[in-house]
Amino acid sequence: MTSWQGMHITVAGLGVSGVSAARALAGLGASVTVVDGGDSEALREKAAALESSTEGVRVRLGDGDTLPEGTDLIVTSPGWKPTSPLFAAAAEAGVDVVGDVEIAWRLRGRDGREAAAWLAVTGTNGKTTTTQMLASILRAAGLRTVAVGNIGTPIIDIVLGGEPYDVLAVELSSYQLHWAPSLRAHSAAVLNLAPDHLDWHGSMEAYAADKGRIYEGNRVACVYNAADKATEDLVREADVEEGCRAIGFTLGTPGPSQLGVVEGILVDRAFVENRQKNAQELAEVADVNPPAPHNIANALAAAALARAFGVPPKAVRDGLRAFRPDAHRIEHVADVDGVAYVDDSKATNTHAAEASLAAYESIVWIAGGLAKGATFDELVSKSAKRLRGVVLIGADRALIREALARHAPEVPVVDLERTDTGAMLAAVREAKRLAAAGDTVLLAPACASMDMFTNYNKRGDAFAEAVSELASADG
């Protein structure tokens, strides 16, 4: 769009992305109404602050269903479901609905400078880590970059800011992709696909289709997981620019047009001359922090996107060495009496927990919480041989206990009935009792945290505090 002046835009949601979109669009001359179904004291304070600081914005609380009169376009926050009454009213009125990522894409390059390229990442698990790894690699190559999107600063703020970035590392959720029909990345990666957010999308097919939108119009590379055929199928179905290549990554020996691992070395057989015969060393497995299998896969995906942008091998190595993962992602907390305690509270679904469990040989597993409709038979059957013991917490722990009875009946299980936050200390004490020297006590809940904790960060913090108390008592 060439001008936003005089447009009447409704922004759905008073969250971080909604406030960012409202301010940006009002600054471009649009008349903006922000709607939100909530009406708490905190929301009223936020609404008052937005209205007083931004001319052209008004906020309507307590009604997120009614379409404001005269609306020309709706800009939605990612979490709003496509079935929302507001969007049904918009469809009836012939009003388009897009997301903040779509607006950012339309706004890029407005200052006359060449717009920064977008290297985009999605997947059920590993998005944030891969995007941060990618940004670290790009910085190591001397490029001006930042990790944005479903992570950190809203992407609209970056696009309209004054910093002249060379390239953006963009994490995108399935929600954001659903509402971004015009997005055309330089290169993009789908890390993996497993059932998630099906209540929002309606089906696994719809969820996968929204993930696959990230490949549409790619110019240089569509990066897929060679171990996850569904990601390759999305590449095959995508409508890309002529010359765009399919680039796989694998934990095994790579074939032509793939990145993989050979004798502890990350190697590239995609962005080299004569890829039928040649391979380029990029980094050692030991350069990946932590070197768990699923995190090595993340590193290969990040390296593939960086190499698609022309980054040299040395920058891949240096960027991976410099990268430090966020808290609560297979984070080593402490060693107590020869037992390692690892916090992967971010493993909030079975796919993430399976990857975490695969990283260790002998595990006392702390699991449970809100299952969100998940089943656990496949997870338990695949991981049973690694389990020395299990400690269950949370509202839906019975689902995991039943799967353990079916697929790992010989594994001792402690079922903690209490669901208050203090249950974590009890869980860690029970895990210590079950563990032997050389084992790993692993918090990888495979469930959401909101039955006991505000979020997965608070759950991980409680685990770390319990381990600290355990260590102090033993010391």
For the chain, the three-class secondary structure string (H helix, E strand, C coil) is CCCCCCCEEEEECCCHHHHHHHHHHHHCCCEEEEEECCCCHHHHHHHHHHHHHCCCEEEEECCCCCCCCCCCEEEECCCCCCCCHHHHHHHHHCCEEEEHHHHHHHHCCCCCCCCCEEEEEECCCCHHHHHHHHHHHHHHCCCCCCEEECCCCCHHHHHHCCCCCCEEEEECCHHHHHCCCCCCCCEEEECCCCCCCHHHHCCHHHHHHHHHHHHCCCCCEEEEECCCHHHHHHHHHCCCCCCCEEEEECCCCCCCCEEEEECCEEEECCCCCCCCCCCEEEEEHHHCCCCCHHHHHHHHHHHHHHHHCCCCHHHHHHHHHHCCCCCCCCEEEEEECCEEEEECCCCCCHHHHHHHHCCCCCEEEEECCECCCCCCHHHHHHHHHHEEEEEECCCCHHHHHHHHHHHCCCCCEEECCCCCCCHHHHHHHHHHHHCCCCCEEEECCCCECCCCCCCHHHHHHHHHHHHHHHHHHHC
Q: Is the residue at 104 inside a domain?
A: no
125, 207: one domain: yes
Identify the domain boundary among 289, 322, 355. 322
Identify the domain boundary among 322, 352, 376. 322
200, 302: one domain: yes
265, 172: one domain: yes
Q: Is the residue at 240 inside a domain?
A: yes
339, 309: one domain: no
What's 420's domain CATH number? 3.90.190.20
Does 125 show up as a binding residue in the annotation?
A: yes
Does 2 show up as a binding residue in the annotation?
A: no
- What is the pLDDT, as a whole number, of residue 464? 96
138, 160: one domain: yes
- What is the pLDDT, as a whole number, of residue 76? 96
309, 180: one domain: yes
What's 311's domain CATH number? 3.40.1190.10
- What is the pLDDT, as a whole number, of residue 194? 86
459, 335: one domain: yes
- What is the pLDDT, as a whole number, of residue 111? 67
What's 24's domain CATH number? 3.40.50.720
**Domain count for the chain:** 3
281, 195: one domain: yes
Does 455 show up as a binding residue in the annotation?
A: no
Does 475 show up as a binding residue in the annotation?
A: no
- What is the pLDDT, as a whole number, of residue 2? 63
Does 128 show up as a binding residue in the annotation?
A: yes
Identify the domain boundary among 279, 296, 322. 322
pLDDT in tens, the chain (475 residues): 568 999 999 999 999 999 999 999 999 999 999 999 999 999 999 999 999 999 999 999 999 999 999 999 999 998 899 999 999 999 999 999 999 999 999 999 876 667 999 999 999 999 999 999 999 999 999 999 999 998 878 899 999 988 889 999 999 999 999 999 999 999 999 999 987 777 787 898 999 999 999 999 999 999 999 999 999 999 999 999 999 999 999 999 999 999 999 999 999 999 999 888 899 999 999 999 989 999 999 999 999 999 999 999 999 999 999 999 888 988 999 999 999 999 999 999 998 999 999 999 999 999 999 998 889 999 999 999 999 999 999 999 999 999 999 999 999 999 999 878 789 999 999 999 999 999 999 999 999 999 999 999 999 999 999 999 988 876 5
Structural domain that includes position 48: 8-95
237, 337: one domain: no
Q: Is the residue at 2 inside a domain?
A: no
123, 255: one domain: yes
